[in-house]
Amino acid sequence: MLRQRVLTAIVLLAVLLPAVFAPAVWPFALLTLLGIGAAGWEWGRLNGLSSGASALLGAAIALAGFGAYAAGWVERAPPTLWWLAMIVWVLGGAFVIGRGVTRWPQLAAPWRWLLGALLLWLAWLALAQAKAIGINFLLSVFVLVWAADIAAYFGGRALGRRKLAPAISPGKSWEGVWSGMLGVLVLAAAWIAFDRATVQDTASVFTQLESRFGALGLVVSVLFLSALSVVGDLCESLVKRSAGAKDSSSLLPGHGGVLDRIDALLPVFPLALALCSL
Instruction: Quote the CA–CA distance of 92 and 102 in Å, as a whole number.
Output: 16
Residue range 182-211, pLDDT digits in tens: 999 999 999 999 999 998 889 999 999 999
Give CA angle at 163 (161, 165), nearest 5°: 170
Residue range 88-133, pLDDT digits in tens: 999 999 999 999 999 999 999 999 999 999 999 999 999 999 999 9
Instruction: Quote the CA–CA distance of 260 and 157 in Å, as a whole number.
Output: 20
Residue range 60-72, pLDDT digits in tens: 999 999 999 999 9
Residue range 140-151, pLDDT digits in tens: 999 999 999 999
> Is residue 2 scored above 70 in pLDDT?
no
Neighbour-count burial of 112, counting CB atoms closer than 10 A to its CB (0-12 exposed, 13-18 middle, 19+ buried): buried
Residue range 88-97, pLDDT digits in tens: 999 999 999 9
Total structural domains within the chain: 1
Residue % of the chain over a pLDDT of 70: 99
Q: Which amino acid is at 22?
A: A
Q: Which amino acid is at 115?
A: L
- The three-class DSSP label of residue 203 is coil
Q: Which amino acid is at 187?
A: L
Residue 186: give the domain boundaries: 2-276
Contact 183, 148 (CB under 8 A): yes
- The three-class DSSP label of residue 275 is helix
Closest by CA position to 201, among listed 141, 132, 125, 126 = 132
The confidence score (pLDDT) of residue 1 equals: 61
Contact 265, 15 (CB under 8 A): no
